[in-house]
Homo-oligomer: A and B are copies of this chain.
Amino acid sequence: MTPGQKQGGPSVRTIPEGEDRERLVCPDCGYIAYENPKIVVGSVTTWEDGRILLCRRAIEPRRGFWTLPAGYMELGEASAAGAAREAWEEARARIEIDCLLAVYDIPRISQVQLIFRARLLSPAIEPGPESVEVGLFAWDDIPWSQLAFPSVVWSLNEHRARLGQRDFPPGGNPPDPVHGL
């Protein structure tokens, strides 16, 4: 059984007795899955010359598009350590976390993203299993039309706005021109 082929499990949305909102319940064994928002940890990582580490995705969603090294935080992990682990897994990059660059809320998919600013400790990078290609990009060479997610664009802009600064508040979601968020 691979992760994509789950059998059974919680699949029915219903309000369990004594609760006030819908949960996913397994029709076979009655198990209630308490779904929680997920934490994504990632980094804008730069080499000494300022070039930024990007990874081209080998997996869906947005396969073939470029992204920052980032992924779901694991159990028992601290957030900065998780961001460093993701850089290793996706780009075989050894990095040193500098500070928290941004915190993004993506309520549509129930994610909170913690994006750190980090330094690449060695330019020796190569694709991990979830990347088809990795690279270091100067600002003008970033493949802007092929970035995987809006929060990649937000993170890159936040990084640029904070170049040379220290002790700043993390960036947040940009104003939503439609909903005035």
Interface residues of A (CB under 8 A from B): 1-3, 6-10, 16-19, 21, 26, 28-33, 35-39, 72-80, 99-100, 103, 105, 107-108, 110, 112, 114, 167-170
Nearest first, the 8 A-B pairs at minimum CB distance are A9-B31, A8-B29, A7-B30, A78-B105, A2-B18, A75-B110, A28-B29, A37-B73
This chain: copies in complex: 2
A168-B167 contact given A8-B26, A39-B39, CB 8 Å threshold: yes
Name the prevailing secondary structure of the A interface residues.
loop
Q: How far is the CA of A2 from the CA of B30 in the complex (A)?
A: 11
A107-B169 contact given A6-B32, A33-B33, A37-B39, CB 8 Å threshold: no
The one of B18, B35, B79, B105 in contact with A79, judged by C-beta atoms closer than 8 angstroms, is B105
